[in-house]
Amino acid sequence: MPGPSFQVDPRCDRYCVVGNPIGHSLSPRIHQAFAEQTGERIDYRALLAPLDRFRETALEFFAAGGRGMNVTLPFKEEAWAFASPRAASAETAGAANTLWRDGEGRYHGDNTDGIGFLRDYLGNHGGSLQGQRVLVLGAGGAVRGVLGPLMKQRPARLVVANRTLSKARALYERFSPLGEISIYEYGALVGQQFDAVINGTAASLGAELPPLPAGILAAGAWCYDLVYAPEPTRFMRWGLECGAARALDGLGMLVEQAAEAFYIWRRVRPATGPVIELLRAE
């Protein structure tokens, strides 16, 4: 039976973000700000799922009247498997971060990470990816979420580097039918240059840095870390030390992916700029 965490104001529609760990998630704060701004009546909470009980947790939440769910680490692949039907973005990524139940009891799955990244990189920061030489670091779920939308921007070159080449190969199998993409080990990047380097490794979370060779940033290059942190990440510091024109974190992407989920659920598009500013100030 649903526990006390599901007891909410009955006038509000219920949403949550599920992950493990989940304590530090900014999503409840972001969706609360969207709700205040738009006048939508929602109750959005963080929900910890045991590592082996994502499916049960999701079913319980929806059975108790939950309308929609965001999904974060480490459950995005399981959320993809749980969802049917799935939007193309979730299908391409093999991962879902947004679920909702329709009137017929079907669990829809979408992935808003890629559109969130693009809205932040292109829209909020005024960047460009078209015709650029783009290097993406990592081959896990975070990278799978952004790669499809990134390829649609038609970069001049798209390279994925990963520590474990077998994982990069699996990524290549998935994405090469969609467009031009090459995979490398870090050491093999020596002598190449990029206009944008996007860090999708989990290295930043542990204050580590992927083993990037010197000299890979072209003049005016941008560095973007898909994670956010109150202080610049190790990767962002590396970028600035190597002469990057911009070194950005993923806070804007986090707010943008949330806004897209909010829109999917409520059909109302919140303004993201004030919420990004609010979180930076906090």
Per CB under 6 A, residues contacting ligand ATR are 73, 138-142, 162-164, 167, 200-203, 208, 210
Using the minimum distance from each CB to ligand ATR, give the nearer residue, 5 or 164. 164
Whose CB is nearest to ligand ATR?
Answer: 140
Distance from C-alpha of 184 to C-alpha of 196, rounded to nearest angstrom = 16
Q: Helix, strand, coil proportions of the chain in percent (round to 5)?
A: 40, 20, 35
Q: How far is the CB of 153 from ligand ATR (least distance, A)?
A: 20
Using the minimum distance from each CB to ligand ATR, give the nearer residue, 111 or 162. 162
Using the minimum distance from each CB to ligand ATR, give the nearer residue, 96 or 275. 96
Nearest to 255 by CA among 39, 30, 95: 30
Out of 14, 76, 119, 144, pick the active-site residue. Answer: 76
Q: How far is the CB of 64 from ligand ATR (least distance, A)?
A: 28
Q: Which amino acid is at 185?
A: E
Q: How far is the CB of 165 from ligand ATR (least distance, A)?
A: 8
Q: How far is the CB of 47 from ligand ATR (least distance, A)?
A: 19
> What is the DSSP code string of 194-239?
EEEEEE-SGGGGGT----PPTT-EEEEEEEEESS--SS--HHHHHH
Q: Would residue 152 show up in a list of annotated catalytic residues for this protein?
A: no
In whole angstroms, how far apart are CA 16 and each of 13, 77, 119? Answer: 10, 17, 23
- Sequence-distant (≥ 6) Cβ neighbours of residue 41 within 8 angstroms: 11, 12, 13, 35
Using the minimum distance from each CB to ligand ATR, give the nearer residue, 163 or 246. 163
Burial 115-137 (b: 16+ CB within 10 A, else e): bbbbbbbeebeebebeebbbbbb
**Could you tell me if 139 and 163 are in contact, meaning their C-beta atoms sit under 8 angstroms apart?**
no
Q: How far is the CB of 4 from ligand ATR (least distance, A)?
A: 30
* End-to-end C-alpha distance for the chain, whole angstroms: 36
Using the minimum distance from each CB to ligand ATR, give the nearer residue, 118 or 143. 143
Using the minimum distance from each CB to ligand ATR, give the nearer residue, 138 or 270. 138
In whole angstroms, how far apart are CA 152 and each of 42, 81, 86, 136? Answer: 34, 25, 20, 15
Token code pair at residue 145? 């979420």
Q: How far is the CB of 265 from ligand ATR (least distance, A)?
A: 23
Distance from C-alpha of 121 to C-alpha of 191, rounded to nearest angstrom = 26
| Catalytic residue ranges | 76
